[in-house]
Structure 1
Amino acid sequence: MAIRFARLAGNAYTTRHTPMNLKALVLGLVASALILRAEVEIPAEHRVGGFALGCQAYTFHRFTAFEAIEKTAAAGGKVIEFYPGQALSPEERTVKLDHNAPEAVIQKVKDKLKKHGLLAVNYGVVGLPNNEAECRKVFDFAKKMGMRAVTSEAKADAMDLIEKLVKEYDIAMGIHNHPKRPNDPNYKHWDPNYILSLVKDRDRRIGACADTGHFARSGIKPVDALKILEGRLISLHLKDLHEFSARGHDVPFGTGQSDIAATLQELKRQNFQGNISIEYEYNLEHSLPEVAQCVGFVRGFAAQR
């Protein structure tokens, strides 16, 4: 008699019903499960109220990457997500931080992160074309930086390649969404159901980077989008908007129309373990107090529950 086990990470397992074979198989399944979970294990010291919370460096895109690190730490964030092309530092503005950065630049960034107690968790939004050499540059950079994931608005024709690299590097990939484009019906990433269609039959490390502000700008309640993507959430760009419309701009958490408390409650219900990036794209030169208010809201939410 043979016992059949569920498919895990794309492999089906069968074994004869013997204690030794069963024990070996169970150990193998456990090891595989641990590998699948590797990218979500963000240490407790890099969490705020149980959430791995920090900033998308684009929040401070009028400043350098070093200044983004400083401001994220000053706001109370514990993690950071970088984006391609930000100037490195006030002293080296012509040097750009991206996946083409040399080892010396990467080490400078890692040293700066260590100094301010931050963990680099994600990189994007970055292009992942159906070109292995180009995609490898992104995954190599993420691996060198010790990141858990990359974020992209990947297209369907690149998904096989991306899945191959996700497995090889053990780095997750979250598909990002921008708002609905009325004049471009070919743009479908605004729809959480479309994102789900791209990832649902893929390795579990392939999922969504849910931009809640852009969902709201597309007329979709963030909580509804998160429910659609349950089990496939890699990361979030968390935003509260002053109005629930395409014109909505960022405001401190809890003061807008996006129901951040309900969003956090839904993440808690799902036992979400990925990272949350505050991406604050308003009052760009002087947003630090407002970003700190966002961090404080998450801390207060957790304290009340």
Structure 2
Amino acid sequence: MTTRRSFLHKGILGVAATTLASIPSVYAEPFKLKSDKGKPDPFKLGIAGYSFINFNLDESLKMMKKVDVHYLCIKDFHLPYKSTAEEIAAFHAKLKENGVTGYAVGPIYTKTKQEIDDAFDYAKRVGVDLVVGIPLHADLGYVAQKTKEYNIRYAIHNHGPEDKLYPSAESIYNLIKNLDERVGICFDMGHNKRDGRDSVADFQKFSKRIFDMHLKNVTAAAKDGSTCELGRGVIDIPAYVKMLRKVNYTGSCSLEYEKDMKDPLAGIAESVGYFKGVCDGTR
């Protein structure tokens, strides 16, 4: 039985991650998310590359190592769209040296079919099977065509009430439900909540078309709600984790931390520790 002490202990481990950098990695074992039956959870914890917009790749990987997270959604400021094969190989080698796997690219904004072509070509050259993108409504049919051509999935990102294209997961689903099943959703649970939606219920409702998600919490279920540490917002994270298990979500839960973006490590560590604590403590 999980006690309050053990739950808090896991969270404290995350907050204290910055003090553990001097411990040789050989002594540390990667944390594995566990289900309520003690088996590994089907979903993975990652970090959305945008969290590191103010940091180069080496600095970003150093932070990931400190908080023991091993999956990264790749942004172009770490791996430019026009990277050569040699540069891409060197990028993956550096990730491997740090125990990190790049599992997707994006988000990528596109306004033309050529830019969509470039996004799929980029994903193919990088060697991932998922593009996170924001296309125009008029180009959705073309996106579906490209998913078939490349056999690469495409997840559309929602950005809340300010976003006239895709404010919520429902707005995306209603546009893609009759398209090729490789067109889906990158579910930003925080922005979805800011649009006045129930993010736990919406994840269940649209789970079959959710390929990726941005893990975050917000201060209010309103337009002026802002990103905060994962355990401090209005979304019920334990209920959300239980829903991930209920629908057998197998994608990544990528923390997108947008608070204190010039000095994010403490907030990232707290959020990662909290999420691991919730996964370990929900029974």
TM-score in terms of structure 2 length: 0.80
Partner in structure 1 of residue 50 of structure 2: 58
**Residue in structure 2 matched with residue 106 of structure 1 by the alignment:** 88
Q: 2:207, 2:249 within 8 Å by CA — same for their partners in 1?
A: no
Q: Give the distance between the partners of 2:218 and 2:54, measured in 1 at CA.
A: 21
In the alignment, structure 1 residue 192 sits paired with structure 2 residue 169: yes
- Give the partner amino acid of 2:106: G
Distance, in Å, in 1 between the alignment partners of 2:191 and 2:216 is 9
- Give 1:245's aligned residue: 222
- Equivalent runs, 1:26-105 vs 2, <5 Å: 48-49=33-34, 50=41, 51-84=43-76, 86=77, 88=78, 97-105=79-87
Letter of the 1:167 counterpart: K
Q: Decide whether aligned partners of structure 1 residues 46 and 112 sit closer, same or farther in structure 2, where only a CA change above 3 A counts.
A: farther
Cα distance in 2, alignment partners of residues 98 and 269 from structure 1: 38
Aligned partner of 2:103 among 110, 113, 121 = 121
Higher deviation after alignment, 219-228 or 57-66: 219-228
Question: Which segments of 5 or more consecutive residues in structure 2 lack a partner in the other structure?
Answer: 1-29, 35-40
Give the % identical residues: 27
Q: Deviations over 1:91-127 (max 9, x none)?
A: xxxxxx2322222321221111101111111111112
> Which amino acid is 2:52 matched to?
F
* Structure 1 counterpart SS, 2:259: coil
Alignment partner, residue 232 of structure 1: 209
Specify the alignment match of 2:185 in structure 1: 208
Residues 38-59 of structure 1, C-alpha deviations (whole Å, 9 max, x = no match) = xxxxxxx896442211111111
Does structure 2 retain, via aligned residues, the 8 Å contact 1:177–1:215? yes
Specify every segment of 5 or more residues in structure 1 that has no aligned partner in the other structure, as ranges: 1-44, 89-96
Q: Give the secondary structure class of the aligned counterpart of 2:231.
A: coil
Asked if the contact 1:192–1:229 (Cα under 8 Å) also holds between the matched residues in 2, the reply is yes
Counterpart amino acid of residue 154 in structure 1: P
Structure 1 CA distance, aligned partners of 2:191 and 2:101?
A: 25
Secondary structure of 2:207's aligned partner: coil
**Maintained 8 Å contact 1:69/1:113:** yes
Which structure features the higher share of strand residues?
1
Q: 1:194-244 deviations in whole A, cap 9, x for unaligned?
A: 211222112222110011111122111211321331211010011112333
Q: Is the 8 A contact 2:136 2:165 kept in 1?
A: no
Q: Which residue of 2 aligns with 1:137?
A: 118
Letter in 2 for 1:217: R
When normalised by structure 1's length, the TM-score is 0.74
Contact 1:254 1:261 in 2 (8 A): no
Structure 1 residue 177 and structure 2 residue 163: aligned? no
Q: Per the alignment, in what secondary structure is the counterpart of residue 198 of structure 1? A: helix
Counterpart CA distance in 2 for 1:268 and 1:190 is: 25
Q: Which amino acid aligns with 2:192?
A: F
Name which structure has the greater RCO, CA cutoff 8 Å, separation 6+. 2
Cα distance in 2 between the residues matched to 1:66 and 1:141: 22
SS, match of residue 231 in structure 1? helix
Q: Which has the larger radius of gyration?
A: 1
Match of 2:4 in 1: none
Question: How many residues matched?
Answer: 246
